[in-house]
A and B are shown apart, each in its own frame.
Chain A
Amino acid sequence: MKAKEIIHLNNDKRKELNPENLKYYEDMLVYIRLSYNKSQEETEEILLELLEHLLEAQKEGKSAKEVFGESPRLYADQIVGEIPKMVTKERLSFGASIILYFLGASALAAGVIKLVLYIIGKSSLTTDIYLGSVFLKTIISLPLAFLLLYVLLEYIRWSLFRNINKVVEFMIFWLFGLITIGFFFALVYFTPEFGPLWQWPFYGSLILGTLLFALGYGVSKIKN
């Protein structure tokens, strides 16, 4: 079975858990799935296996705590430690698709902003872009995006088994969003204009973004 089919099966079967077991299991599920360098198929296989075990135990009146232990995090760490890592090919296609999605999303966002400006008459069909600046911004934004994504994932993993106040949580995400936007605005603002000048139409960004997205999707499908 492919990872996707297993995920569907898991989604269906999970509905049979009682609320208490569901909470325990889902915390563990999110935590294990966020171990991003693990083989996805193997990850989903063990998750389904754990779910099926829990369902049978539930029929016998046992709780998730009795089956997997008092600490979901400790147990999840033991499982994660034993799941085989992604093979190099899976790792490369995973990394490349994230880069392509990110670039695609950036191009689409730029295209949409310029489209709106064009419609309300604040911008012409084409805008001036400096190839050197575009190149430099791309090179800097990629590691920056990866760093922010990494911080976000690590935060979610850290917070999963802690009961963090909803308001505090909201503030943290809000602050994180603000910092992210701030970084990228600073990048756009402070990058000097240099390199050859191009007249670039907004639909160019839209087309480029769509192509990059399609390419990212294609690359993510390459496995084994």
Chain B
Amino acid sequence: MNLHTQLLKGVLEGCILAVIKQGPVYGYELSMILGVYGLVVSEGSIYPVLLRLQKEKLIRGELRASPSGPNRKYYFLTPEGEEALQNFQTSWEELKTSVDRLLKEEI
């Protein structure tokens, strides 16, 4: 596993929550959006995370008719998911500031 993949693994959950917050998405769509942001290593890697987030009740899936025809499983954020996303945002800001400071040697 390369460095990029390893770093991404830790934040993928939070990123997925952030995408779903912008509006309900289905799996393929989600992977495309993450890809646009340069955040996906292998498309399939989102599904184990989606399953885990559902188990933790941070998101819920619902079958809905899609514009292009077939029923698709769309994901929505639950209130617990909103909370988890906020926690992620706070942690991420803190981590980002700390790492940036260290790298720029402003300690």
Contact A68 B44 (CB under 8 A): yes
Contacts of B60 in A (CB 8 A): none
Given A53-B28, A79-B51, decide whether A45 and B42 contact each other with a Cβ distance below 8 A.
no
* Contact status B51-A53, CB under 8 Å: no
Per-position contact with A for B63-88: 1 when CB-CB < 8 Å, else 0? 10000001011000000000000000
> Which chain A residues (1-31) contact chain B, with CB distance < 8 Å?
1
B42 touches A67 (CB 8 A): yes
A174 interface residue per 8 A CB criterion = no
> A46-73, CB under 8 A of B: which get 1 and which 0?
1001101100110000000011110000
Output the residue of B43, B44, B73 with the most chain A CB within 10 A.
B44
Interface of B (DSSP majority class): helix
Supplied contacts A66-B42, A75-B44, 12 more A-B pairs, CB within 8 Å: A46-B47, A46-B51, A49-B73, A53-B44, A53-B47, A57-B43, A66-B43, A67-B44, A68-B42, A69-B45, A82-B48, A82-B52
B28 and A56 within 8 A (CB): yes
* A13 smallest CB distance to B (angstroms): 8
Closest beta carbon of chain B to A141's beta carbon, Å: 38
Query: What are 25 A-B residue pairs whose CB atoms fall within 8 Å in the complex?
Result: A1-B63, A45-B61, A46-B47, A46-B51, A49-B27, A49-B47, A49-B73, A52-B27, A52-B28, A52-B70, A53-B27, A53-B31, A53-B43, A53-B47, A66-B42, A66-B43, A67-B43, A67-B44, A68-B44, A69-B45, A78-B48, A79-B47, A79-B51, A82-B52, A84-B55
Q: Is A81 an interface residue (CB 8 A)?
A: yes
Closest to B61 in A: A45
Bound Cα distance A66, B43 (Å): 8
Within 8 A of A (CB), among B3-27: 27
Q: Give the CA-CA distance A49 to B44 in the complex, in Å.
A: 11
Q: Is A160 an interface residue (CB 8 A)?
A: no
Chain B residues at the A interface, C-beta cutoff of 8 Å: 27-28, 31, 42-45, 47-48, 51-52, 55, 61, 63, 70, 72-73
Chain A residue total in the interface (Cβ 8 A): 20
Is A96 an interface residue, CB under 8 A from the partner?
Answer: no
Say whether A110 faces chain B, with CB atoms less than 8 Å apart. no
Q: Are A82 and B28 in contact (CB under 8 A)?
A: no
CA distance A52 to B63 in the complex (A): 13
Q: Is the CB of B55 within 8 A of A45?
A: no
Which of chain B's residues have a CB closer than 8 A to the CB of A81?
A: 48
Residue of B nearest to A45 (CB): B73
Q: Measured between alpha carbons, how far is A82 from B13 in the docked complex, in Å?
A: 14
- A1: chain B residues at CB < 8 Å are 63
What CA separation (Å) do A53 and B40 show in the bound complex? 15
Distance in angstroms between the alpha carbons of A75 and B31 in the assembled complex: 16
B44, closest chain A residue (CB): A68
Could you tell me the distance between the alpha carbons of A107 and B63 in the complex, rounded to whole angstroms? 44
Bound CA–CA A78/B9 (angstroms): 14
Which 9 A-B pairs have CB atoms at the shortest separation, nearest pair first?
A82-B51, A68-B44, A78-B48, A56-B28, A67-B43, A82-B48, A53-B28, A82-B52, A67-B44
